[in-house]
Protein backbone atom coordinates (compact mmCIF):
# COMPACT_ATOMS: atom_id res chain seq x y z
CA UNK A 1 0.00 0.00 0.00
CA UNK A 2 1.22 3.48 -0.86
CA UNK A 3 1.59 5.67 2.22
CA UNK A 4 0.94 9.42 2.30
CA UNK A 5 3.12 10.41 5.28
CA UNK A 6 6.94 10.20 5.51
CA UNK A 7 9.25 7.71 7.24
CA UNK A 8 10.53 10.30 9.73
CA UNK A 9 7.01 11.27 10.78
CA UNK A 10 6.17 7.58 11.25
CA UNK A 11 9.32 6.79 13.24
CA UNK A 12 11.22 4.90 10.52
CA UNK A 13 14.89 5.27 9.57
CA UNK A 14 17.49 3.83 7.20
CA UNK A 15 19.47 0.95 8.78
CA UNK A 16 23.11 0.21 8.06
CA UNK A 17 24.11 -2.51 5.62
CA UNK A 18 26.09 -4.24 8.38
CA UNK A 19 22.92 -4.76 10.39
CA UNK A 20 20.99 -8.08 9.97
CA UNK A 21 19.62 -8.74 6.48
CA UNK A 22 16.60 -10.92 5.67
CA UNK A 23 16.96 -11.17 1.89
CA UNK A 24 18.79 -9.73 -1.11
CA UNK A 25 17.30 -8.80 -4.49
CA UNK A 26 18.90 -8.67 -7.95
CA UNK A 27 17.57 -8.19 -11.50
CA UNK A 28 18.65 -10.38 -14.41
CA UNK A 29 20.73 -8.62 -17.12
CA UNK A 30 19.73 -8.76 -20.78
CA UNK A 31 20.10 -5.27 -22.26
CA UNK A 32 22.34 -5.60 -25.34
CA UNK A 33 23.47 -1.96 -25.45
CA UNK A 34 24.99 -2.36 -21.98
CA UNK A 35 26.00 -6.03 -21.70
CA UNK A 36 28.26 -7.56 -24.32
CA UNK A 37 27.70 -10.73 -26.30
CA UNK A 38 23.95 -10.73 -25.78
CA UNK A 39 24.48 -10.36 -22.01
CA UNK A 40 25.61 -13.99 -21.71
CA UNK A 41 28.92 -13.23 -19.91
CA UNK A 42 27.15 -10.81 -17.57
CA UNK A 43 24.51 -13.42 -16.80
CA UNK A 44 27.25 -15.84 -15.74
CA UNK A 45 28.67 -13.21 -13.38
CA UNK A 46 25.26 -12.23 -11.97
CA UNK A 47 24.47 -15.90 -11.39
CA UNK A 48 27.75 -16.41 -9.57
CA UNK A 49 26.99 -13.43 -7.30
CA UNK A 50 23.39 -14.51 -6.65
CA UNK A 51 24.35 -18.12 -5.96
CA UNK A 52 27.11 -17.08 -3.55
CA UNK A 53 24.79 -14.79 -1.60
CA UNK A 54 22.14 -17.54 -1.56
CA UNK A 55 24.52 -19.61 0.58
CA UNK A 56 24.06 -16.98 3.31
CA UNK A 57 20.57 -15.47 2.94
CA UNK A 58 17.43 -15.75 0.81
CA UNK A 59 17.88 -14.32 -2.68
CA UNK A 60 15.19 -13.14 -5.11
CA UNK A 61 15.90 -12.25 -8.74
CA UNK A 62 13.59 -10.17 -10.91
CA UNK A 63 13.55 -11.52 -14.46
CA UNK A 64 11.62 -10.85 -17.65
CA UNK A 65 9.42 -13.56 -19.13
CA UNK A 66 11.87 -13.68 -22.07
CA UNK A 67 14.75 -14.69 -19.82
CA UNK A 68 12.96 -16.76 -17.19
CA UNK A 69 14.08 -20.20 -18.39
CA UNK A 70 17.64 -19.03 -19.00
CA UNK A 71 17.90 -17.62 -15.49
CA UNK A 72 16.32 -20.71 -13.93
CA UNK A 73 18.98 -22.97 -15.44
CA UNK A 74 21.84 -20.80 -14.12
CA UNK A 75 20.62 -20.01 -10.61
CA UNK A 76 20.50 -22.30 -7.57
CA UNK A 77 17.11 -23.85 -6.90
CA UNK A 78 16.89 -21.86 -3.65
CA UNK A 79 16.95 -18.57 -5.57
CA UNK A 80 13.43 -17.24 -6.14
CA UNK A 81 12.59 -15.88 -9.60
CA UNK A 82 9.93 -13.19 -9.93
CA UNK A 83 8.73 -12.12 -13.37
CA UNK A 84 8.95 -8.38 -13.62
CA UNK A 85 9.54 -5.74 -16.27
CA UNK A 86 12.46 -3.32 -15.95
CA UNK A 87 14.76 -1.41 -18.28
CA UNK A 88 18.14 -2.49 -16.90
CA UNK A 89 19.39 -4.60 -14.05
CA UNK A 90 20.72 -2.21 -11.37
CA UNK A 91 18.59 -3.28 -8.42
CA UNK A 92 20.46 -1.00 -6.01
CA UNK A 93 19.10 1.99 -7.90
CA UNK A 94 15.68 0.82 -9.07
CA UNK A 95 14.71 -1.33 -6.08
CA UNK A 96 13.29 -0.03 -2.80
CA UNK A 97 15.32 1.42 0.04
CA UNK A 98 13.83 -0.26 3.12
CA UNK A 99 13.52 1.60 6.42
CA UNK A 100 12.74 0.18 9.85
CA UNK A 101 11.34 1.37 13.18
CA UNK A 102 12.19 0.45 16.77
CA UNK A 103 9.59 -2.33 16.76
CA UNK A 104 11.27 -4.02 13.79
CA UNK A 105 8.56 -3.08 11.30
CA UNK A 106 9.75 -2.44 7.73
CA UNK A 107 8.55 -0.13 4.98
CA UNK A 108 9.89 0.59 1.52
CA UNK A 109 10.80 3.81 -0.26
CA UNK A 110 10.32 4.21 -4.00
CA UNK A 111 12.58 6.99 -5.20
CA UNK A 112 11.88 8.76 -8.48
CA UNK A 113 14.22 7.21 -11.06
CA UNK A 114 15.34 8.83 -14.33
CA UNK A 115 18.21 6.64 -15.61
CA UNK A 116 20.91 8.66 -13.83
CA UNK A 117 20.18 12.03 -15.35
CA UNK A 118 16.94 12.11 -17.31
CA UNK A 119 16.90 14.21 -20.46
CA UNK A 120 20.03 16.06 -19.32
CA UNK A 121 22.47 13.11 -19.30
CA UNK A 122 20.50 9.92 -18.62
CA UNK A 123 21.91 6.66 -19.95
CA UNK A 124 18.77 5.60 -21.82
CA UNK A 125 15.56 7.24 -23.04
CA UNK A 126 12.90 4.97 -21.54
CA UNK A 127 13.12 4.30 -17.80
CA UNK A 128 9.38 3.94 -17.19
CA UNK A 129 9.61 0.26 -16.19
CA UNK A 130 12.58 0.89 -13.87
CA UNK A 131 10.60 3.57 -12.07
CA UNK A 132 7.96 0.98 -11.06
CA UNK A 133 10.33 -1.72 -9.76
CA UNK A 134 10.57 -0.48 -6.16
CA UNK A 135 6.79 -0.58 -5.80
CA UNK A 136 6.64 -4.03 -7.41
CA UNK A 137 9.29 -5.43 -5.06
CA UNK A 138 7.43 -4.02 -2.05
CA UNK A 139 4.24 -5.66 -3.29
CA UNK A 140 6.00 -9.03 -3.60
CA UNK A 141 7.52 -8.77 -0.12
CA UNK A 142 4.33 -7.39 1.38
CA UNK A 143 5.65 -3.99 2.47
CA UNK A 144 3.83 -0.69 2.54
CA UNK A 145 5.85 1.98 0.76
CA UNK A 146 6.43 5.72 0.50
CA UNK A 147 6.73 7.43 -2.89
CA UNK A 148 9.50 10.01 -2.57
CA UNK A 149 8.91 13.25 -4.51
CA UNK A 150 12.50 13.61 -5.75
CA UNK A 151 15.08 11.74 -7.84
CA UNK A 152 17.54 9.48 -6.01
CA UNK A 153 19.24 6.12 -6.49
CA UNK A 154 20.24 3.62 -3.83
CA UNK A 155 23.86 3.73 -4.96
CA UNK A 156 24.00 7.45 -4.16
CA UNK A 157 23.66 6.92 -0.39
CA UNK A 158 25.42 5.06 2.40
CA UNK A 159 24.47 5.13 6.09
CA UNK A 160 25.84 4.05 9.47
CA UNK A 161 22.32 3.38 10.75
CA UNK A 162 22.92 5.87 13.55
CA UNK A 163 21.79 9.06 11.87
CA UNK A 164 24.64 9.69 9.42
CA UNK A 165 24.24 9.65 5.65
CA UNK A 166 27.16 9.74 3.20
CA UNK A 167 26.77 11.01 -0.36
CA UNK A 168 28.53 13.06 -3.05
CA UNK A 169 27.84 16.57 -4.29
CA UNK A 170 28.69 15.43 -7.82
CA UNK A 171 25.68 13.10 -7.82
CA UNK A 172 22.97 14.64 -5.68
CA UNK A 173 23.63 18.16 -6.95
CA UNK A 174 23.93 17.11 -10.61
CA UNK A 175 21.75 18.98 -13.11
CA UNK A 176 20.08 15.74 -14.24
CA UNK A 177 18.68 14.84 -10.81
CA UNK A 178 16.84 17.64 -8.99
CA UNK A 179 17.90 20.94 -10.56
CA UNK A 180 15.02 22.77 -8.88
CA UNK A 181 16.20 21.84 -5.36
CA UNK A 182 18.82 23.62 -3.27
CA UNK A 183 21.41 21.59 -1.34
CA UNK A 184 19.63 22.46 1.91
CA UNK A 185 16.30 21.28 0.48
CA UNK A 186 17.86 17.97 -0.58
CA UNK A 187 19.24 17.55 2.95
CA UNK A 188 15.75 18.16 4.36
CA UNK A 189 14.27 15.53 2.03
CA UNK A 190 16.98 13.03 3.03
CA UNK A 191 16.18 13.64 6.68
CA UNK A 192 12.43 13.28 6.09
CA UNK A 193 12.66 10.05 4.07
CA UNK A 194 15.65 8.34 5.69
CA UNK A 195 15.34 9.55 9.27
CA UNK A 196 18.94 10.78 9.29
CA UNK A 197 20.22 13.88 11.10
CA UNK A 198 23.62 14.49 9.46
CA UNK A 199 24.74 14.41 5.83
CA UNK A 200 28.46 13.94 5.20
CA UNK A 201 29.03 15.44 1.75
CA UNK A 202 31.98 14.27 -0.34
CA UNK A 203 32.91 16.35 -3.40
CA UNK A 204 33.08 13.72 -6.13
CA UNK A 205 32.67 10.00 -6.77
CA UNK A 206 35.08 7.66 -8.54
CA UNK A 207 36.71 8.93 -11.73
CA UNK A 208 34.69 8.31 -14.93
CA UNK A 209 31.68 6.91 -13.08
CA UNK A 210 28.76 7.42 -15.46
CA UNK A 211 26.29 7.59 -12.56
CA UNK A 212 27.65 11.09 -11.82
CA UNK A 213 29.67 9.84 -8.89
CA UNK A 214 27.64 7.37 -6.84
CA UNK A 215 29.05 7.22 -3.33
CA UNK A 216 28.96 3.39 -3.25
CA UNK A 217 31.71 3.21 -5.86
CA UNK A 218 33.98 5.49 -3.82
CA UNK A 219 33.41 4.45 -0.19
CA UNK A 220 31.72 1.81 1.92
CA UNK A 221 30.47 2.37 5.47
CA UNK A 222 31.54 -0.73 7.38
CA UNK A 223 30.72 0.38 10.92
CA UNK A 224 29.76 3.41 13.00
CA UNK A 225 32.24 6.19 12.09
CA UNK A 226 34.22 3.68 10.00
CA UNK A 227 34.58 4.02 6.23
CA UNK A 228 36.52 2.26 3.46
CA UNK A 229 37.82 4.70 0.82
CA UNK A 230 39.04 3.94 -2.72
CA UNK A 231 42.62 5.16 -3.00
CA UNK A 232 45.60 5.53 -5.31
CA UNK A 233 49.13 6.78 -4.72
CA UNK A 234 49.72 7.47 -8.42
CA UNK A 235 49.90 11.29 -8.75
CA UNK A 236 49.24 11.00 -12.50
CA UNK A 237 45.93 9.17 -11.99
CA UNK A 238 42.84 11.46 -12.03
CA UNK A 239 41.60 9.48 -9.04
CA UNK A 240 44.58 10.72 -6.98
CA UNK A 241 43.06 14.15 -6.33
CA UNK A 242 39.47 12.86 -5.98
CA UNK A 243 40.48 10.39 -3.25
CA UNK A 244 42.41 13.03 -1.35
CA UNK A 245 39.53 15.49 -1.50
CA UNK A 246 37.23 12.75 -0.18
CA UNK A 247 39.69 11.91 2.59
CA UNK A 248 39.92 15.56 3.62
CA UNK A 249 36.12 15.86 3.63
CA UNK A 250 35.73 12.74 5.78
CA UNK A 251 38.40 13.80 8.28
CA UNK A 252 37.11 17.37 8.56
CA UNK A 253 33.58 16.33 9.53
CA UNK A 254 32.05 14.44 12.42
CA UNK A 255 29.16 12.01 12.18
CA UNK A 256 25.69 12.40 13.67
CA UNK A 257 26.97 11.19 17.06
CA UNK A 258 29.85 13.69 17.06
CA UNK A 259 32.50 11.05 16.35
CA UNK A 260 35.53 11.55 14.12
CA UNK A 261 35.44 9.22 11.12
CA UNK A 262 38.02 6.44 10.72
CA UNK A 263 39.10 6.08 7.09
CA UNK A 264 40.57 2.82 5.77
CA UNK A 265 42.24 3.19 2.38
CA UNK A 266 41.81 0.41 -0.19
CA UNK A 267 43.70 0.67 -3.49
CA UNK A 268 41.74 0.89 -6.70
CA UNK A 269 42.37 -1.94 -9.19
CA UNK A 270 44.20 -1.25 -12.40
CA UNK A 271 43.56 1.30 -13.85
CA UNK A 272 41.42 -0.96 -16.03
CA UNK A 273 40.14 -0.28 -19.55
CA UNK A 274 37.71 -1.68 -22.12
CA UNK A 275 39.40 -4.07 -24.54
CA UNK A 276 38.60 -3.97 -28.26
CA UNK A 277 36.76 -7.31 -27.97
CA UNK A 278 34.67 -6.15 -25.03
CA UNK A 279 33.66 -2.85 -26.63
CA UNK A 280 32.83 -4.37 -30.00
CA UNK A 281 30.48 -6.92 -28.43
CA UNK A 282 28.02 -4.24 -27.26
CA UNK A 283 25.21 -2.78 -29.38
CA UNK A 284 25.84 0.94 -29.64
CA UNK A 285 23.26 3.39 -28.26
CA UNK A 286 23.11 7.14 -27.75
CA UNK A 287 23.39 7.16 -23.96
CA UNK A 288 25.87 4.40 -23.21
CA UNK A 289 29.07 4.63 -25.20
CA UNK A 290 31.42 1.68 -24.72
CA UNK A 291 34.70 2.36 -26.48
CA UNK A 292 37.95 0.39 -26.59
CA UNK A 293 40.49 2.03 -24.29
CA UNK A 294 37.85 3.75 -22.15
CA UNK A 295 38.66 3.85 -18.44
CA UNK A 296 36.49 1.55 -16.30
CA UNK A 297 35.22 2.88 -12.99
CA UNK A 298 36.64 -0.02 -11.01
CA UNK A 299 36.50 -0.16 -7.23
CA UNK A 300 36.87 -2.67 -4.41
CA UNK A 301 34.57 -0.49 -2.27
CA UNK A 302 31.63 -1.71 -4.39
CA UNK A 303 31.04 -4.79 -2.23
CA UNK A 304 27.98 -6.05 -0.35
CA UNK A 305 27.84 -6.79 3.39
CA UNK A 306 25.40 -9.52 4.39
CA UNK A 307 25.18 -11.17 7.82
CA UNK A 308 28.88 -11.52 8.58
CA UNK A 309 29.97 -11.87 4.94
CA UNK A 310 31.53 -9.44 2.48
CA UNK A 311 30.88 -10.23 -1.19
CA UNK A 312 33.88 -8.58 -2.83
CA UNK A 313 34.51 -7.98 -6.55
CA UNK A 314 37.76 -9.51 -7.79
CA UNK A 315 39.07 -7.32 -10.61
CA UNK A 316 42.86 -7.28 -10.76
CA UNK A 317 45.34 -9.99 -9.73
CA UNK A 318 47.81 -7.29 -8.74
CA UNK A 319 45.46 -5.84 -6.10
CA UNK A 320 42.82 -8.49 -5.26
CA UNK A 321 44.78 -10.06 -2.41
CA UNK A 322 45.72 -6.63 -1.03
CA UNK A 323 42.06 -5.63 -0.91
CA UNK A 324 41.12 -8.91 0.77
CA UNK A 325 43.87 -8.48 3.37
CA UNK A 326 42.86 -4.89 4.19
CA UNK A 327 39.18 -5.79 4.56
CA UNK A 328 39.97 -8.93 6.58
CA UNK A 329 41.87 -6.79 9.10
CA UNK A 330 39.21 -4.07 9.13
CA UNK A 331 36.39 -6.63 9.52
CA UNK A 332 37.92 -9.52 11.50
CA UNK A 333 34.51 -11.08 12.23
CA UNK A 334 33.53 -11.21 8.55
CA UNK A 335 34.18 -13.85 5.91
CA UNK A 336 35.45 -12.26 2.70
CA UNK A 337 33.92 -13.96 -0.37
CA UNK A 338 35.72 -12.88 -3.55
CA UNK A 339 33.89 -13.18 -6.88
CA UNK A 340 35.35 -12.34 -10.34
CA UNK A 341 33.10 -9.55 -11.64
CA UNK A 342 34.79 -7.84 -14.59
CA UNK A 343 31.70 -8.54 -16.71
CA UNK A 344 29.57 -6.56 -14.23
CA UNK A 345 32.13 -3.76 -14.23
CA UNK A 346 31.84 -3.53 -18.02
CA UNK A 347 28.19 -2.56 -17.56
CA UNK A 348 29.08 0.35 -15.29
CA UNK A 349 28.96 -0.95 -11.72
CA UNK A 350 29.62 -3.92 -9.49
CA UNK A 351 28.28 -6.18 -6.74
CA UNK A 352 26.82 -3.40 -4.59
CA UNK A 353 25.17 -1.82 -7.63
CA UNK A 354 23.35 -4.98 -8.73
CA UNK A 355 22.06 -5.94 -5.27
CA UNK A 356 19.59 -4.44 -2.80
CA UNK A 357 19.37 -5.81 0.71
CA UNK A 358 16.09 -6.06 2.61
CA UNK A 359 16.83 -5.63 6.34
CA UNK A 360 15.64 -8.17 8.88
| Greatest C-alpha distance within the chain | 54
Distance (Å) of CA 103 to CA 92, 193, 290: 25, 18, 47
Burial state string for 157-183 with b = 16 or more CB within 10 A and e = fewer than 16: bbbbbbbbbbbbbbbbbbebbbeebee
353 catalytic, yes or no? yes
DSSP assignment string, 234-300: -TTSHHHHHHHHHHHHHHH-B-TTSPBPEEEEEEPP---B--HHHHHTS---SS----TTPBP---T
Distance (Å) of CA 7 to CA 24, 105, 106, 152, 289: 22, 12, 10, 16, 38
The answer to whether the beta carbons of residues 310 and 337 sit under 8 Å apart is yes
- As a three-state string, the secondary structure of 20-35 is CEEEEEEECCCCCCCC
Which residues are designated catalytic? 353
Amino acid sequence: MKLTSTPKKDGFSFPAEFEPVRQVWLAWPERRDNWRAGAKPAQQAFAQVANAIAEVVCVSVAVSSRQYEQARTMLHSSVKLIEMEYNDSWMRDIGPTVVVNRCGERRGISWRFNAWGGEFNGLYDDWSADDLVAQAVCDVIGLDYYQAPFVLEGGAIHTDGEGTLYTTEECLLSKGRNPDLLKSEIENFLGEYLGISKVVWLPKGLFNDETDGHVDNLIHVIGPAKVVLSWTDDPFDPQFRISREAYAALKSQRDAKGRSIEVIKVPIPGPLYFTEEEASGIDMSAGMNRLAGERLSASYANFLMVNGHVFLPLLDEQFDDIAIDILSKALPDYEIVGIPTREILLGGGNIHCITQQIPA
